[in-house]
Structure 1
């Protein structure tokens, strides 16, 4: 099939691009790299896909290009582009989240309703739509009560998908991602920050007491769910995508100390607004409907990400 991926140079988008190319699909990847603060990471993410003969690379701002032309021949669109992160979504930054996560999603949906060949739009949502969590497992019919502006924008994206499906028949499936980690993770995300600090023996800011619990999802498991969603025959659907196991942040830090072979220099800071205390994914619906079967343990996944961090920074000048 002919597939378009927005956010293709990102953490998840680059892995998904490679998986789809390996399966024989034609992939057009769109992303904005030029002024990105992690430009060197995004360029590293793309280095495999960009050499592939069936990969078309489009460095562009999705809010300013002709999406109708981009989607004209698309069988599937994966909409991964946007701004992630809870802590940065407060205050004046909220307008950036609105543009990247809400306005852009609405533009994508407008183009999708006119795309003549479109069989599926896969929308990347987030576990942040559920809110803080008290430790219970979240299922797809659990209440959606975001506790951060970021979570609000992802839920707004989901609702836009629902509206365009109901009114115009846009064939979408939304996936709620739970704390994705692995090689190519964004530099602002937890494991990347923790491992980089360990590598360079830098102070590691830890918000709260470290007993926060996360359902950690390895990136290749998440890619599996995305690939399954693109051929799922029922539209207007939402699925949780979680990992093999949950763990506390303190447990993760102990594992990083083992990987690094030295203690971490932890700098304890107050809890941050909007940070959920616990996330746990009930993935029984995805298992049943998508055949989703997460397989990578936290120990194995963290070892792979540590090897990536060492490669990325070990022989480079520290950015």
Structure 2
């Protein structure tokens, strides 16, 4: 936005992840100096190495291997003007049962420790990755001032992290403002392999059936990674003190419609096996993006069919072990 401060020194937590690695690249392209923070090492984790391959070659990028739950934060946060806090444990279905302690530590405690450090250092802005899971179920479109009633332990931890960060921003004389972005079903190149569109495309590549939960009429607001990155970077310089903002694709579609799109892009039907609905899965996600348009100048531009095509093209060239097995 006009008159907004430039991003010069940025920190991106979760830098080796799907969204984080794309944000890192976008910031480097804008001329920022970027410290990427992740507990995964590219030397030991092939996915981290792949996601950060471009950034690691850039002179303005530095990677810090750090666990936000237990390691010292201040040394690499000091001097930043913006922290993009994108680290966390994702996934609705795995968050039930004994894994919850990890969600609690990585999504809530890590956020609290980071906010304490940012405020103590007087950092200007934290952009936090929240989730549409904070809303729970409903017919949508969901507005930021509407009810939040998460239906999964994952959603509970994302809402807790969001409220924590906003509380720090609203504390008297706090130097650190916060924009919490409620992401809606992000997809595109580098997408986590457990997510729906990636699973569909891999089913086509391998011939191994996709497990389709429920009747396929569940609707999701799919958001292409390039649009997510644009909204995330814009949140760093938006005029705000403590705001939660939806970042969605602006169009909620059924899983059956997505299967048809994948078939159109790949030229093959997706093999499927039906399974029961899973705990925590909602029937509808749909974002009201009025606030994002006004506050961030956000305007999603990539259609679902085009985004799936881009992800298919990327997947087809970045899965050598799969393509070799099929040859």
Correspondence for 1:127: 132
Gaps of 5+ in 2: 1-7
- Please state whether the residue corresponding to 2:63 is helix, strand or coil: strand
Matched, 1:223 2:229: yes
Query: Deviation at 1:60?
Result: 2.5
Correspondence for 1:293: 299
Matched, 1:157 2:161: yes
Correspondence for 1:55: 61
State the distance in 2 between where 1:52 and 1:199 align.
33
Correspondence for 2:30: 23
Tell whether the 8 Å contact from 1:198 to 1:264 is kept in structure 2 after alignment. yes
Matched, 1:110 2:116: yes
Matches within 5 A, 1:1-319: 1-34=8-41, 39-116=45-122, 118-133=123-138, 135-167=139-171, 169=174, 170-314=176-320
Tell whether the 8 Å contact from 1:74 to 1:115 is kept in structure 2 after alignment. no
RMSD, aligned α-carbons: 1.7
Query: Deviation at 1:34?
Result: 4.5
Query: Deviation at 1:238?
Result: 1.1
- Please state whether the residue corresponding to 2:253 is helix, strand or coil: strand
Please report the TM-score for the alignment, with normalisation by the length of structure 1: 0.95
Gaps of 5+ in 1: none
- Please state whether the residue corresponding to 1:275 is helix, strand or coil: coil
State the distance in 1 between where 2:306 and 2:265 align.
11
State the distance in 2 between where 1:44 and 1:86 align.
25
Q: Residues 115 and 132 from structure 1, CA distance in 2 versus in 1: closer, same or farther, beyond 3 angstroms?
A: same
- Please state whether the residue corresponding to 2:69 is helix, strand or coil: coil
State the distance in 2 between where 1:143 and 1:27 align.
36
Query: Deviation at 1:136?
Result: 2.2
State the distance in 1 between where 2:269 and 2:320 align.
19
The count of residues paired between Structure 1 and Structure 2 equals: 315
Q: Residues 3 and 83 from structure 1, CA distance in 2 versus in 1: closer, same or farther, beyond 3 angstroms?
A: same
- Please state whether the residue corresponding to 1:193 is helix, strand or coil: helix
Query: Deviation at 1:36?
Result: 11
Tell whether the 8 Å contact from 1:126 to 1:175 is kept in structure 2 after alignment. yes
